[in-house]
């Protein structure tokens, strides 16, 4: 599995970090331990929501796809404008 920096370079600012933008997000944090003083230990977090787009962390340049499979297909297509040099 390739790292995102091997697949993506923002054509606007040159950064190689992408973030997923979601709407209608619900987070579920299972509690595994609850101490007498109120400290809480959580298990693995789970999330549900709708992916709206992916974007460059630095400048916000967007890739308008709504799934990670579509993102992979976009980044690996010959016409993708964001291939690292």
Please tell me the total number of residues recorded for the chain in this structure.
85
pLDDT band at 1 (very low <50, low <70, confident <90, very high): confident
What is the chain's percent helix, strand, coil content, to nearest 5?
15, 35, 50
pLDDT at residue 71, rounded to an integer: 93
Q: Give the per-residue pLDDT at 60.
A: 95
pLDDT of 51: 92
pLDDT in tens, 15-61: 999 999 999 988 888 889 998 998 889 888 888 889 999 999 999 99
């Amino acid at each position: 599995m390739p790292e995102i920096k091997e697949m993506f370079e923002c054509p606007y600012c040159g950064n190689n970090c992408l973030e997923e933008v979601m709407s209608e997000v619900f987070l579920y944090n299972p509690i595994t331990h609850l101490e007498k003083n109120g400290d809480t230990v959580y298990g693995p977090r789970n999330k549900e929501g709708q992916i709206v787009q992916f974007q460059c962390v630095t400048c916000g340049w967007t890739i308008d796809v709504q799934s990670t499979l579509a993102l992979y297909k976009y980044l690996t297509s010959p016409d993708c404008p964001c291939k690292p040099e």
